[in-house]
Every structure is written in C-alpha cells, then in structure tokens.
A and B are shown apart, each in its own frame.
Chain A
C-alpha cells in the first residue's frame, strides 16, 4: 500500500497542450482534405466510366459515326469512326486487347466494381479521420477549459490489510521479526504495529499493577507521547478519575449479562477489547455502536469509519468520561457481546483501525484517513 503514489492528478493541458491538440487536429483535417480530393477524383472516374460504358454500348448501333478525329491536342481532322464493334482496351502495363462492345462493357463493369470498393474504403477512412479530428477538437477544448485527470489505481488490499492487522493484534505474542519480514511491509504499517504492541504491553503491565494493589487510584497507563500529552491536557482530571469506576461498571454489567462467575476478571476474557474501549471512550457512543453493528453484520462501513476518524476525532479527544461506555454496553450488552464474541474478527479489525487511527492521526492524518477509506 504505497500511500504516496496512491493517485495522480494531472491537468489535461499538461498531457495534451492546447496548441499540440490543435496542431494535431489541423493535421488530421489536412489529411481529410487530401482524402476528400482523392474521393472526388474516384467519383469522377466512376462517372467517366459509366458514361463510357454507355458510349461503348451505343457505338455498334451504327456502321460509322461522323466525328472530328483528334490530331494531337490542339488540332483535328474531320473524319468518322469505323469498325464500331472493335475496341482496343488497355489491360494495364501497356498491354492492349481487342474486344467487342459487349466484352468491353464487361471489362468496364469490373473496373466500376473496383472503383466502388475503393470508394467504400476511402469513405471508411474519412469517417475514421473525422472521428479523430473531432476527438482532437474535444481534447483541445477540454485542455483549454483546464480539465484535470484524476487517476487512482484500484488496490484490492483493504481486506488483506484488515486481516493482517487483525492477526497481528490477536497473536500479540508472535515474533515481531516474523511480521516485519512479511512480504508487504510499509513503514507506516510497521510503525503502527509496533506502537500497538507497545501499547498492549504497557496496558498489561498497568493492569497487573492494578490487580496487585487493588484499590488505589491508578494512572492511566502511558500509551505513547501523544496519548500521554493528551491525558495531561484539559481533561486530565477526568481521565485520572474515571477509569477505575468505568472498569468496574463494565465488568459488572457484562459479566452479569454473560453469566460468568463474578470473580473472573473481565479482562481475561476480553483483555484487549476492554482496554481499547476504555481508552477510546467517546461521547458519541452511537458512532461506536454503529461501527460494531455494521461490522458484525459483515459490512466494512468504510464511510462510518471515515467520518469517525475525521469528524469525531476532536470530540473523542476531549471526551474521556467513561460514562458513555457504560451506557454503550448496557444498551448493547446481551446481543452485542454475543455477536462480538462470534464476530471477534470484526471487532479486532475495528479496534485495530481505531487504534491505528489514534496513533497515526497526529503523525499522518491525511494518510490515515486514506488508509481507513481504503
């Protein structure tokens, strides 16, 4: 997925300069004029041929015809045509044959057919040339208007990327070297994966701390510079206060609904899921919900994600309340979670996408949006 060379935008006038297009059109028009002249000449031949056929058929009607016998180009004698059923016909290459009137008219007939086929060919050629000329004309006009050509290759990788990311997320213990040795290792992707892995490790660590100490209020684990910076922002207080309560509430609800023993920790079943969701709390639970449902129904919902990544990002950043997560789950809990369990690949995909979004957005916002859309 080369994001740099994803699409190209070229102005039509840079591909086909207006003057060049006009020149080409002019050239084609010249060719058309030449062909038209040839066509006219052929038509002249045809008419001559038909009149000659007429003449040849009429001449033997009489023994002789009074004519002026040409003598050179500018002189003639008075005289008459004799042997009116004898014609000397040029066969070509200087060979002549003596033919009767009927035979001559047959020869002329064949000549007429050849001429007609030639005319047909010439007409087809003229049509082609005219189409070409009109194309050049249109191109020139478009180039003059300042049209742009936007070209983007169709890359059938969107599902591959998702699955790869998903597997990367699932097998979080897998050797990173094996992943980096993967055939298609774009730098950005690798960076995102590394950050994901770091994030997971840190969260695990933090949770272990939490489990050990139990009650004291914990810091939200550091993700990376960006997230910590965000945490230390205006909503720093909220973030510090909320996670504990939020965790508990989620556990309570979900575990109850799934009928699990209450002493089993939620995060052992959905370790990463919970982390991500608690990390990624949003005021707009609907978006989240939408994403989940659309994913579990197998749809990729690229639009949703796109809007989420671009439009709601600011809102996400500010809103770290955690209350919404509770509501989100309680509204969805029974059905959504069973669906999630079944369609965990979809979840993972979504989470990975969200996480990537989160990490990448400060670094390469535009590219992330691109990525999500693809």
Chain B
C-alpha cells in the first residue's frame, strides 16, 4: 500500500516534470520558431509585391512608350524633389546580394517573372515550415493533455 503510494507520488512528480518540459519546449522553442518563420514569409511577400509592382510599372512604360520620365525623389523625411530620367529604356534592377543589372524592358520582365517564381516557391516553403511548426505545437499540446488526463 505504502509502496504503491510512493510509486504514485514518484509517477506524479515525473509526470509533472514532463509536462513542464513539454510546455517549456512549446513556449521557448516552437512558438519563437513559428513567429520567426511567419516574419520571414511576410518579408518574402513584401518582396513579391515589390516585384509585381515593378512589373506592372514596366508594362505601363512599355504600353505608353515612355522614354523619359519626370518624377519626385524622396530625399528622406517625406521631402521630395523633382528628378528627371532622360532615358528610361534601360533600367537597373536589383538582382540580389547588392548587384544591380542593367536590363532593357523585356529583359527586366523576364527576370522579374523568374524572380517571382522563385519568390512563390520560397513562400510555399515557408508555408510548409509554418504548417509543420503548428503541427508540432499541436502534437506537444496533445501530449500534455494526455499526460494530464490519463494518469498512470
């Protein structure tokens, strides 16, 4: 009888410890991971939007045959100054790692489509990663629930 009780007590403390460990794992590891992954994916989304905007703008230039452009440049703190781009047929596009490549409109559009595909793939990867983390969290939570609900 006494032995049984001791056993129960020991089991109880072990279970408590385990639940504690699981909870810590969820709180300290999985949730920050999830937040990080979501932030990364949002970044890629923003990038995707930038490139789709660029694509639309280049298509606009192409359609209207704009060869010179007068625009406003943001000098910072929302102070603008007029700027003149005499030749818009050649455009410099950021291809990553700080490199800018001089493209014509069609080359730029081609590059942008490739880039967009890559970004879409990245987004999908991140979505998978996020789903995986969410599944892990659910799994661990279920484990905790089981530990608490079905004693020894």
Chain B residues in 8 Å Cβ range of A148:
none
Bitwise, B6-40 to A at CB < 8 A (1) or not (0) is: 00000000000000000000000000000000000
Interface-facing stretch out of B68-76, B121-129, B130-138, B143-151: B68-76
Contact check, A52 vs B86: say whether CB atoms are below 8 A apart: no
A79 within 8 A of B: yes
Contact check, B81 vs A48: say whether CB atoms are below 8 A apart: no
Contact check, A77 vs B85: say whether CB atoms are below 8 A apart: yes
Closest CB in chain B relative to A53 CB, distance in Å: 9
Contact check, B79 vs A87: say whether CB atoms are below 8 A apart: yes
Q: In A87-110, which residues have CB < 8 Å from any B CB?
A: 87-90, 96, 104, 108
Bound-complex Cα distance A59 to B86 (A): 20
Q: Which residues of B contact A (CB under 8 A)?
A: 50-51, 53-54, 57, 69-88, 90-94, 100, 108
Majority SS at the chain A contact face: mixed
A83 within 8 A of B: yes
Closest CB in chain A relative to B100 CB, distance in Å: 8
A330 within 8 A of B: no
Contact check, A69 vs B69: say whether CB atoms are below 8 A apart: yes
With known contacts A74-B50, A79-B83, A83-B82, A68–B92 Cβ distance under 8 A: yes
With known contacts A67-B83, A74-B50, A80-B83, A56–B94 Cβ distance under 8 A: no
With known contacts A80-B83, A82-B84, A75–B76 Cβ distance under 8 A: no
Chain A residues in 8 Å Cβ range of B50:
72-74
Chain A residues in 8 Å Cβ range of B82:
81-83, 86
Residue of B69, B78, B94 near A89 (CB, 8 A) is B78
Bound-complex Cα distance A240 to B75 (A): 113
Bitwise, A25-40 to B at CB < 8 A (1) or not (0) is: 0000000000000000
Residue of A72, A73, A77, A86 near B81 (CB, 8 A) is A86
Chain A residues in 8 Å Cβ range of B87:
77-78
With known contacts A88-B81, A90-B78, A75–B93 Cβ distance under 8 A: yes
26 contacts between A and B (CB under 8 A): A49-B77, A52-B75, A55-B75, A64-B84, A69-B73, A71-B57, A71-B71, A72-B50, A72-B54, A74-B93, A76-B91, A77-B69, A77-B88, A78-B85, A78-B90, A79-B85, A80-B84, A81-B83, A82-B70, A87-B79, A88-B72, A88-B79, A90-B79, A96-B80, A108-B77, A111-B77
Contact check, B91 vs A75: say whether CB atoms are below 8 A apart: yes
List 4 other contacts, CB 8 Å, given A75-B91, A79-B86, A90-B79: A74-B50, A78-B90, A88-B81, A90-B78
Chain B residues in 8 Å Cβ range of A52:
75-77, 79
Chain A residues in 8 Å Cβ range of B90:
77-78
Closest CB in chain A relative to B94 CB, distance in Å: 4
Closest CB in chain A relative to B35 CB, distance in Å: 17
Residues of A within 8 A of B (CB-CB), count: 36
With known contacts A49-B77, A55-B75, A89-B78, A69–B54 Cβ distance under 8 A: no
Bound-complex Cα distance A81 to B94 (A): 22
Contact check, A70 vs B73: say whether CB atoms are below 8 A apart: yes
A84 within 8 A of B: yes
B80, closest chain A residue (CB)? A88
Closest CB in chain B relative to A120 CB, distance in Å: 20
Bound-complex Cα distance A84 to B79 (A): 12
Chain B CB count within 10 A is highest, among A67, A78, A89, A108, for A78
With known contacts A68-B92, A74-B94, A79-B86, A56–B79 Cβ distance under 8 A: yes
Closest CB in chain B relative to A227 CB, distance in Å: 62
Chain B residues in 8 Å Cβ range of A77:
69, 85, 87-88, 90-92
Bound-complex Cα distance A80 to B72 (A): 11
With known contacts A48-B76, A52-B79, A90-B78, A76–B84 Cβ distance under 8 A: no
Residue of B51, B74, B85 near A74 (CB, 8 A) is B51
Chain A residues in 8 Å Cβ range of B53:
72
Closest CB in chain A relative to B59 CB, distance in Å: 13
Bound-complex Cα distance A76 to B94 (A): 9
Bound-complex Cα distance A133 to B151 (A): 43
Contact check, B80 vs A75: say whether CB atoms are below 8 A apart: no
A73, closest chain B residue (CB)? B50
Bound-complex Cα distance A13 to B57 (A): 67
B54, closest chain A residue (CB)? A72
Closest CB in chain B relative to A364 CB, distance in Å: 49
